[in-house]
A and B are shown apart, each in its own frame.
Chain A
Amino acid sequence: MSARSRELFALIPVALLVTAGFTAVLITNSDQLGNLSVLYGGYFLALCVATHVVIRIRLPDADPYLFPLVALLAAFGMVILFRLNESLARDQANWFVLGLILFSATIIFLRDYDVLERYRYLIALAGIILLIMPRFLGHATNDAFLAVNLGPITFQPTELAKLCIVVFLASYLNEHREVLVVGARNVFGLVLPPLKHLGPLLVVWGAAMVLLVFIRDLGSSVMFFGAFLALIYVATARLSFVIIGLLLFVVGAWFFAHTAAHIQERFDIWLNPFHDAGGSGYQLSQSIFAQADGGLFGRGLGDSLVQLPGCHGSFPDHCAILPAPHTDFIYAVIVDELGLFGGAAVVLIYALIAERGFKTAILAEDGFSKLLATGLTAIFALQAFVIIGGVTRVIPLTGVTLPFISYGGSSIVANFSLLALLLMVSDKARRRVRLQGETRLG
């Protein structure tokens, strides 16, 4: 069976999940939902098939499992959003259209991603501008500057910035990795990179710190710096560089945790969420209580308590017991309704996507492709870890989105672009492998 046919077949479970999920929600909340709502399920599936056709034409050798896995995540998100509020699912479906258009445009018009290497400094600059933009054009939510208001649209530039930064790092490290390794010196038993090339790396560390203090976005900071360390490690094979980087980050974070009140509070809540469960610890303790209600199999779709009884404001902006059930805390809602099984399924899907992404990096021939696939996969997988880890109290809670599941346009559009780049790397790598195989056979 060809790769593309496998992709099409893999969409069948997605179709089943969407149908079953929407039906379950409809049965439970039949008094509140119109029958037309189920059309959104069909609408969503038609989009997936259309995208499959684009991939079939333009990237015939690309990894067959990445797109169905992403569609599965999206289906999960759609069902949960539909359950929370019909109109959220409608908005999300519209953003999927936009995301898939951008996805198709990327793979149709960006014929060769090598062109990105040429504009790497321009891309890096764009990335930095995107990162600091919210501080000037945006407003703070939970003390962090996450979003920019452009007329009627609110958009989260960090989502796009992560693509720019990964492209830049992959390209820069691909060019300098030899000198970083060869020029390394042993200082007091510690292998240090040559000072000359240390500069740009310190700049990246500085950027992460700026992100932490200036934008107050601990989540993105961890995500960016994590992807950076992953790339350093893969490019140079020097664990000591990673350890130095990690130490620098921890020292920086520790310093700011003691000087910046908002970061310190995050840490206090993390260490003791129930201490002020009605105040600063409210979000995290509610997240944990919601998960406790889930148990092994969950309460069932539509059966968990998400809305304050007797409250008649708009939901989920008001009347939510667990704040932000459609964005930051959507994972807690999944565990509440689908139990540990549902939560584990979500984590497993992210792990499988990471596996396909790293596989792509291994199959790729040139250094830039390898580092690009590694970086894109790492930052994507880390984003899922940072938000699920925050919601489950593995790490302090921060406000990044759960890729392809959380409600929100910026995240969907940016992550579909990320997927497009990854599939392009994969197509190139697998085509080479296929042609080599055919040559050998011939």
Chain B
Amino acid sequence: MNRQIIKLFGFLLVLYALLFGFTSYWSIFDADSLKANQANRRPLLEEQTIKRGDILASDGSVIARSRPVGKGNNPIYVRHYPQGGLFGNPIGYSFVTQGRVGFELSHNDELVGNETEFLSILDELRGHSQVGDQVQSALDPAAQEAAVNGLAGRRGSVVAIVPSTGEVRAMVSIPEYDPNRIPKDFAQLNRDQSAPLFNRATQAGYPPGSTMKVVTATAALDSGELTPSSTFSGRSPIEIEGVPLANSGGEQFGTIDMTTALTNSVNTWWAQAGEKIGKDTMFKYMDRYGFDAKPRLDYPSFQLAASGVYDGNRLLGPSDAIDIGRVAIGQERLRVTPLQMAEVAATVANKGELMEPRLWSKVIDPDGRATKLDPARQSRVMGEDTAQTLNTMMQSVVSEGTGTAGAVSGIDVAGKTGTAEISTGVNDAWFIGFAPANDPQIAISCIVEHTSGFGGPTCGPIFKAVAESILHGNSGG
């Protein structure tokens, strides 16, 4: 019988090897796909047990906070947004079933508190459960509010950037949404034709209209192709690429210099300038400004769009067939984000140097230690002289040109208007600029979609309100 007993043991070992094989399959080899399985709610449940860090505004007020639901030693945490829709779009939301977007997603690691292995062992020994870091954003509630009030329900966007640091003080997209509604009304918000969940500031591609002339002027001056006193004829219409091009309202100008052409936003002058500069130089300067790539904002990649000349979804380059004369005046197939145009204004304001834009300013760990972020340079777009020349020209736009509505009393403002005609009588109205012109504290872009108004009168007052809110806030505090 002994031989049979040994064989029986062998058979049993085969059975046990099967147990080992299946256990290793589930725990190691198939683990990743099991964790991603739709039916597996464990990752979501686990998330609920973590107290996410607060998100703060620049003044320390709370934008997002996790609140425990239920009592006892086994609570779940749910996100609450005390300021409602004011920060809806830049901050986004974080809920177990709907996931995360925006700032909540891009700063998830800090907010959840993914520390080093050593630190979490220490925390465990002290009996702490996982607590995330606080993240302070650069967003200023007063500026946000001024922008929301300025847009007054009209669809559009406002972005305000501190030129010397790249900090984003305001980012507004209208229609806004209240993130507290997400758990209940996600489907409805997602279906909404006005697209409240879409962050126009970073995702929408608008024709920039005449605000593009700032980029064209940068290329013209910094490359040495043209000077402020270079002249072209301002008569209207003229043929560009075989198609007639007219000035706004068919206005006629004589042979004028660059300052006059910018102040009065003379399309025919700038289209000729664009053709003189050429595609290669135009694209070189556009790329320096950050066109043709996603902005380097601390934001989820899928919520960032690159600005540039598009054919469908494809970005075009200097080797493609492009009407560069019309690119120079912000037409053609040019699509830009409000964030990109704020970066353009901020670059001129910052003496030609583009700073990386950023929404966060500080991380504060649960023990109160704060880590402040240093500003980062993105690129030197133009020489300081060019920037100074452009600054002066943009001041005349506000003092005597199309942008007078953006003037702030007692302060010099530099700006540029834009009115992109979508169809007859329907425009995308723009204003970009910065203030004070001699010591820029804030650069702002504003757009109102599908309005009958023009750039200056429509967006000028919004620029003024946001700039005043920030400048007064600075002098006050």
Contacts and interface: CB of A to CB of B under 8 A. Distances in A.
B23 A344 contact: yes
Given A31-B127, A309-B76, A321-B42, A374 B5 contact: yes
A309 B74 contact: yes
A293 B42 contact: yes
Contacts of A310: 48, 69-70, 74-76
B72 interface: yes
B28 A295 contact: yes
A372 B238 CA distance: 108
A68 interface: no
A234 B70 contact: no
A171 to B, nearest CB: 15
B3 interface: yes
Given A347-B19, A351-B16, A340 B42 contact: no
B253 to A, nearest CB: 70
Chain B interface helix/strand/loop/mixed: helix
B39 interface: yes
Interface in B1-54: 1-9, 12-13, 15-16, 18-20, 22-24, 26-28, 30-31, 34-35, 37, 39-40, 42, 45-46, 48-49
Contacts of A319: 74
Interface string A276-308: 011000000100111111111000000001011
Contacts of A351: 12-13, 16
B321 interface: no
B313 interface: no
A403 B138 CA distance: 60
Given A31-B73, A292-B35, A296-B28, A358 B6 contact: yes
B124 interface: yes
B39 A312 contact: no
B37 A274 contact: yes
B37 to A, nearest CB: 7
A237 B8 contact: no
Chain A interface helix/strand/loop/mixed: helix
Interface in A208-258: 230, 233-235, 237
A285 B72 contact: no
Nearest to B22: A392
A233 B6 CA distance: 11
B71 interface: yes
Interface of B: 1-9, 12-13, 15-16, 18-20, 22-24, 26-28, 30-31, 34-35, 37, 39-40, 42, 45-46, 48-49, 69-76, 124-125, 127
16 contacts: A27-B127, A233-B4, A288-B34, A292-B27, A293-B35, A294-B27, A305-B42, A305-B49, A309-B45, A310-B48, A310-B69, A310-B75, A312-B74, A340-B23, A351-B16, A370-B5
Interface of A: 27-28, 30-32, 230, 233-235, 237, 274, 277-278, 285, 288-296, 305, 307-312, 319, 321, 335, 339-340, 343-344, 347, 350-351, 354-355, 358, 361-362, 367, 370-371, 374, 378, 381-382, 385, 388-389, 392-394
Top 8 A-B residue pairs of the complex, sorted by shortest distance between their CB atoms: A277-B39, A310-B76, A292-B34, A392-B22, A291-B26, A292-B31, A234-B4, A309-B76
